A and B are shown apart, each in its own frame.
Chain A
Amino acid sequence: MAWENIKLAFKSMLTNKLRTFLSLLGIVIGVLSVVTILTLGNSASGSITDAIATGGTDLVTVYNTKNTSTFTEEFSETLMRNVSGIVNVTPMDSQQARVRYKDTIKNYSVNGVQSGWGDMMNISMAQGSWFTPEDNLSRRQVVVLGSQVAEDLFPGGDAVGNYISVFRTQSKRYLVIGVLDEKDATLSVSFNNVVFMPYNTMKLRISRTSTVGSYIVKVGEGIDSTTVCDNIQDYLDNLVGSDAFSVFSASTLSSIANDITGTFTTFLAAIAGISLLVGGIGIMNIMLVSVAERTREIGIRKALGASPRVIRGQFITEAIALTMVGGLIGIGLGTFISKLVTNLAGWSFKVSVPAYALSVGFSMVIGVFFGWYPAKKAAKLDPIDALNYE
């Protein structure tokens, strides 16, 4: 009987193609929106995670937020010894300063770092070379420029070997020994606008304090950086109090970003879900028309021995068939559109299985829900009235 009902449902859908198409449209658009939004959300959040991962999910930054004097260069060692999961710690100071070459004067962030920082950050050089440990120990007045800085000050590309001036209470000349490759940073920190100098040079010439601004912590391979964040948090809470520092890692950022895209996607999908509901009302409307039109057919079937249950089943099957066909078309179109958009946006296309399951399930529920009333109406028709219906 179920199979006969399915055949009947498709027969009836095909007899009135335009009407079937129009009533399907609501469901198609609803499912299409849900699938597209969920798939795009999924793909976008995947791309964000990827982008953050390239920024270094194995790095944790500890900021000295209140200039606490406990945070010294030597404290790097203390931190490494007392917190598990850390393979390297390097201090970093950052200041805004005016930088001049010939007639060009601009403000940049100047970072003092040790030579090991370069390896931790996986930097690559466009020209020249990175600092040596010797540059740091001897407090040499040398700098490495971010790509944008080099482009601003040396449009001719002849940065290496020239001297620039950095103003901070007093002006000093620094030899440019290298230029970094340009690095796109979607959500991680960009170094394109930074001037780097050896940590000790920075301490002597610019920051003039033994207090460290921040530490870059490298997490051991295979260790979750959020766990290390928690460990550092625990250790420092006891030592200096929770106000004196803040801990940050790309993984934290990544999970925040995922939370945000997740919330946003759910929100949009819920709105798209409303259009699915509207589509369902369209199905109910067409089913009521169908029952009214086929009153005589219902009467004949009842006279031939169809029980109310059989009649109800016939019309519910028809409603479900309608919504399922609409759902499948919607899934097809939604996937196609998502593929198109992810290609254009350059995201990696990630199929959202829950979106498919949700759409198919929801279409079916809508079929049952909005088909129920018309089907019940059909089942309750009086056979004599139905037979005499013109």
Chain B
Amino acid sequence: MVPVIELDNVSRYFIVGDFVVKALDQVSMQIQNGEFTAIMGPSGSGKSTLMNLIGCLDSPTSGRILIDGADVKGLSETDLAYIRNRKIGFVFQQFNLLPKLNALENVITPLLYTGDVGVAERKLRAQMALEKVGLKDRMKHRPNELSGGQKQRVAIARALVTNPSLILADEPTGALDTKTGNQIMDLFNELNSEGHTIVIVTHNDEIGRSCPRLIRIRDGKIEEKE
């Protein structure tokens, strides 16, 4: 089976003044369909760079990135936007909901960019996604009327709504208390058991260990695989 994500000898260098910073150095890895993986490392280890590359927000200096078997090298901004829309569902540490829109409108937003989903279907799918994360009765609430945990649930619903190949979560429990964080992790586990492929990027040891698969990263290299 074709892996959802395949990194083949990927490097990402940044030039800072006279120095070349090797944020990622010849990393190879695969994420299979249905896997629940944590990418863990201390700050500055290169995990954010890795996440940006997997999420098609950034391009590698060298190496190949394949998403569902397709190389993303040389794609235009518009093509990358298309892949982000269809293949990746982002969940951020700071939720990144649009403050002027209510929960339902926030979840609908990615479907607007899909371009081929009608108004009625957009609403239906967004309602279903919100129901799935347990926010059936909070659809008309704006982000500032929701708790941290609820906001993250809206964000997860937004990531789910396009039915992407991969849910990519960056420190999803980082802004939450332990109890709420655990509830969010429970939700990810539940989604994974339903077949969703999930990658969580974190520096939290506990969160990392709770995932079925753990990839440790340090100084731009993958240290160990479990």
Contacts and interface: CB of A to CB of B under 8 A. Distances in A.
Interface of A: 1, 4, 11-12, 15, 296-297, 299-310, 383-384, 387
B2 interface: no
Interface string B141-167: 000000000000000001000100000
Nearest to B97: A300
Chain A CB within 10 A, most for which of B58, B84, B97: B84
Interface string B66-81: 0000000000011001
Given A1-B112, A303-B55, A384-B52, A297 B77 contact: no
B85 interface: yes
Interface in B107-136: 109-110, 112-115
B58 A305 contact: no
Contacts of A4: 112
A384 B77 contact: no
A384 B137 CA distance: 33
A304 B52 CA distance: 13
B100 A304 contact: no
A334 to B, nearest CB: 33
B100 A310 contact: no
Contacts of A301: 98, 109, 113
Given A301-B109, A305-B86, 12 more contacts: A299-B96, A300-B96, A304-B110, A304-B158, A305-B110, A305-B113, A305-B114, A305-B162, A307-B78, A383-B57, A384-B52, A384-B58
Contacts of A300: 96-98
Contacts of B98: 297, 300-301
A304 B57 contact: no
Size class of the B contact interface (CB-based, 8 Å):
20 to 34
Contact of A308 (B55, B81, B86, B110): B81
Contacts of A11: 100
Majority DSSP secondary structure for residues of A touching B: helix
B190 to A, nearest CB: 23
Nearest to B161: A304
A303 B52 CA distance: 10
Interface of B: 52, 55, 57-58, 77-78, 81-82, 84-86, 90, 92, 96-98, 100, 109-110, 112-115, 158, 162
Given A305-B84, A308-B78, A12 B100 contact: yes
A85 B27 CA distance: 99
A12 B99 CA distance: 11
Contacts of B158: 304
Given A304-B84, A309-B78, A1 B115 contact: yes
Contacts of B77: 307-308
B156 to A, nearest CB: 13
B87 to A, nearest CB: 9
A325 to B, nearest CB: 18
21 contacts: A1-B115, A12-B100, A296-B96, A299-B96, A300-B97, A301-B98, A301-B113, A302-B57, A302-B81, A303-B57, A304-B85, A304-B90, A304-B110, A305-B84, A305-B114, A305-B162, A307-B113, A308-B77, A308-B78, A383-B57, A387-B96
A190 to B, nearest CB: 68
A303 B84 contact: yes
A306 B55 contact: no
B99 to A, nearest CB: 8
Contact of A303 (B96, B97, B112): B96
A228 to B, nearest CB: 68
B109 A304 contact: yes
A50 B55 CA distance: 73
Nearest to B83: A305
A12 B81 CA distance: 24
Given A4-B112, A383-B57, A307 B81 contact: yes
Contacts of A387: 57, 92, 96
Nearest to B108: A4
A383 B78 CA distance: 12
A306 B84 CA distance: 9
A304 B160 CA distance: 11
B47 to A, nearest CB: 14
Contact of B113 (A296, A304, A383): A304
Contacts of A1: 112, 115
A301 B101 CA distance: 13
B100 A306 contact: no
A306 B96 contact: no
A306 B113 contact: yes
A384 B82 contact: no
A77 to B, nearest CB: 84
B206 to A, nearest CB: 26
A378 B125 CA distance: 29
B78 A305 contact: no
Contact of B57 (A12, A297, A384): A384
A304 B88 CA distance: 8
